[in-house]
């Protein structure tokens, strides 16, 4: 299995430092979160020279820039078109650094907008973006998150778009904590379209999410790892640890736990 981590673990490190950390702890990839003030300098606004250098440095280090994590979301009609334009820029960025995927959200459904209307907005946005993604050889991966934590609703969107470059980022935690799914049911609902995976453990009580070390929360990571192995999944399993512990505490511990489940 191939493991990566998102730049929320290392927001203050530059790209050279991130590559050293990834190699030190045995990660195979790195997932830059863009437009978040992180110091990796892999952004839509970065120069082509800077992006070319980042791509070469990653290749030399044997660390793949595995996904461009965006905040693009499409459920709110007031901002859908602006987010489509942002997603286009993210697809260009992914192509520049040879990242195979971008992460997007369905987004939160605003008050006064029906789920059916939001569903149509997300589907139509994906239909517009899919040919661009195909031209860039990049997959658009919709995350199980926000108002779209239910895997069946994400599967419905991807099934209706019906394009090989529109896929799923299976965030294994949110369907469990927010929708009461088992890992097995979530996986079986999404497995034809899984091209990227986010992992993190936690509990959700009194409307509050608390991150926990993998194995100490409510999410069965061992089941997820083994289901992905049986599927022959060859994408990345990426740790998303936001505003949590110092990276030198959780990065070595979490990958060791994940590898113990293989």
Which CATH number belongs to the domain containing residue 188 in this structure? 3.20.20.150
Measured on CA atoms in the order 38, 41, 43, 45, is the torsion positive or negative? positive
- What is the pLDDT at residue 206? 84
pTM across the whole model: 0.98
- What is the pLDDT at residue 120? 98
Question: Which domain, by its residues, includes 110?
Answer: 2-260
Total Cβ atoms within 10 A of residue 94: 25
Q: How far is CA 190 from CA 32, 80, 171, in A?
A: 24, 24, 11
Joined tokens for residue 108: 């939160």
What residues of the chain score a pLDDT lower than 70?
Answer: none
> How many domains, the chain?
1
- What is the pLDDT at residue 207? 83
Sequence-distant (6+) residues with CB within 8 A of 192 are: none
- What is the pLDDT at residue 227? 98
Total Cβ atoms within 10 A of residue 27: 26
Across the beta sheet with 101-105, what order do the strands follow?
Answer: 64-65, 29-31, 2-6, 236-239, 194-199, 166-171, 139-143, 101-105, 68-73
- What is the pLDDT at residue 172? 98
- What is the pLDDT at residue 85? 98
Residue 29: strand, helix, or coil:
strand
């Amino acid at each position: 299995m191939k493991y990566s981590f998102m730049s929320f673990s290392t927001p203050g490190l530059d790209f050279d430092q991130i590559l050293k950390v990834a190699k030190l702890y045995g990660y195979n990839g790195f997932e830059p979160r863009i437009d978040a003030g992180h110091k990796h300098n892999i952004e839509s606004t970065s120069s082509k020279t800077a992006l070319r250098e980042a791509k070469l440095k990653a290749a030399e280090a044997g660390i793949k820039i595995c996904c461009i994590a965006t905040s693009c979301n499409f459920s709110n009609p007031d901002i859908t078109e602006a987010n489509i334009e942002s997603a286009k820029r993210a697809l260009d960025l992914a192509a520049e650094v040879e990242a195979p995927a971008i992460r997007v959200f369905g987004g939160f459904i605003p008050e006064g907008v029906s789920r059916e209307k939001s569903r149509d907005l997300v589907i139509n946005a994906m239909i517009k973006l899919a040919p661009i993604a195909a031209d860039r050889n990049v997959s658009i991966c919709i995350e199980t998150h926000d108002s779209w934590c239910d895997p069946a609703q994400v599967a419905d969107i991807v099934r209706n778009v019906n394009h090989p470059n529109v896929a799923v980022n299976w965030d294994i935690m949110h369907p469990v904590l927010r929708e009461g799914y088992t890992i097995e049911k979530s996986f079986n609902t999404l497995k034809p379209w899984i091209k990227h995976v986010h992992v993190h453990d936690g509990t959700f009580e009194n409307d509050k999410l608390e991150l926990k070390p993998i194995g100490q929360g409510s999410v069965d990571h061992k089941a997820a790892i083994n289901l992905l192995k049986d599927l022959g999944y060859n994408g990345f399993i990426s740790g998303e640890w936001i505003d949590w512990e110092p990276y030198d505490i959780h990065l070595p511990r979490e990958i060791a736990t994940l590898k113990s489940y293989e």
